[in-house]
Amino acid sequence: MANKLQFDLVSPESLVLSAQVDSVSVPGLEGDFGVLPNHSPVMSIIRPGVLVVENDGVVSQYHLDGGFVDVTPEGVTVLAETILTEAQAAERGTSEDA
């Protein structure tokens, strides 16, 4: 579909997610920015924060400890060392509190 963008989320140990999505919100080093299809090309460093992916109204969040994003007209590629899904982050949070 023309109004979707290809999104790849890659960690050194695996390809976490590779899918067509509606939009991605990236915690850039100099401020968050959202990416919609046909975004102009951007390269940015990611600060530790939450990456939000939206597809068909479903929002999923990934906690990143920093990384790198490459936006091209074809899509978005995020490279990050540690990627936690919301559930994993919650689990880690509770285990640290305990």
Residues 25, 85: Cα–Cα separation, whole Å: 15
- Nearer to other proteins by Cβ, of 19 and 45: the residue is 45
Residues 8, 94: Cα–Cα separation, whole Å: 29
Q: Which two tokens stand for residue 20?
A: 């067509």
The contact pattern for other proteins, residues 64-93, with x = CB under 8 A and - = no contact, is: ----x-x-xxx--x-x-xx-----------
Pick the binder of other proteins from 1, 2, 3, 41 (CB under 8 A): 41
Residues 68, 75: Cα–Cα separation, whole Å: 14
Pick the binder of other proteins from 4, 6, 10, 17 (CB under 8 A): 10
12 lies in the binding site for other proteins (CB under 8 A): yes
